[in-house]
Amino acid sequence: MIFVLSFYLQKVRGFSVMHAGLVFLPLTGTFIFSNIASGRMQARLGSRKPMIVGGLIGAAGYALLGIFGTAHDSTFLEMLPGLVLIPAGMGLAVPAMTTSILSAVDRSQAGTASAVLNTARQVGGALGVAIFGALQDIELSLAISSSLLLLGAAVAWHCIKHPSSTKGASLCRT
């Protein structure tokens, strides 16, 4: 979404490269704090809850950005809730997802699991740029992103069997 949103800001809204870059500052700042919060939340509650809560928060951010932030006359303040909620949710969910995946495999396979996870992230990012770039519809892209995060939260709800422990978390195998 960062790729598509930057084009939207520059081509549709007429923002300069510098102005568009400044719009993304809340994303960066929020990621820092939400990643720290994710570790603390996981230590107390396990991986399941940060994944679910993070997915829901991120989905709400994409939805708000789609509703209030993509009008041609929307202000930065109207875009801000989405630009804060998206990284807040992702910053909670992604570290928990990584922990959950790596704790679900034998320690001797952790390197392979990590490589597969990073490959999936890279492929997902490339597909996202290609698909959302081809759509050229920011509102549809935001709706799809929100829906995918809701699906991810539902998968976490259904598949992570031991919510109070990151050790030995059971992942879906169906």
Q: Cβ contacts of residue 111 below 8 Å, gap of 6+?
A: none
Place of tokens 């709800």: 157
40-78: pLDDT as tens digits:
999 999 999 999 999 999 999 999 999 998 888 889 999
Contact between 145 and 124 under an 8 Å Cβ cutoff? The reply is no
100-140: pLDDT as tens digits:
889 889 999 999 999 999 999 999 999 999 999 898 889 99
Query: Could you tell me the CA-to-CA distances from 22 to 27, 58, 137 in Å, in that order?
Result: 10, 20, 22
Q: Does domain 2-159 have CATH number 1.20.1250.20?
A: yes
Q: Domains of the chain: which residue ranges? A: 2-159
Contact between 135 and 141 under an 8 Å Cβ cutoff? The reply is yes
Q: Cβ contacts of residue 81 below 8 Å, gap of 6+?
A: 61, 64, 65, 68
Percentage of the chain surpassing pLDDT 70?
93
